[in-house]
Amino acid sequence: MNQTFVGDPQYYKMILKYEREATARDILEASRKMALEMTFIFSSASHPEYETTSAGTDRSKLPTPGSPPEVKFPALQRAS
Residue 64 lies inside a defined structural domain of this protein: no
Distance CA(10)–CA(3), nearest Å, equals 8
> Is residue 43 in some structural domain?
no
How many structural domains does the chain have? Answer: 1
Domain-located, residue 77: no
In a domain, residue 10? The reply is yes
Q: How far apart are CA 4 and CA 16, in angstroms?
A: 18
Spatial neighbors of 12 by CB under 8 A, at least 6 apart, are 2
Q: pLDDT for 26-42, tens place per residue?
A: 999 999 998 888 877 88
Q: What is the pTM of this model?
A: 0.36
Tens digit of pLDDT for each residue in 16-72? 999 999 999 999 999 999 888 887 788 888 888 888 877 777 778 888 889 999 999
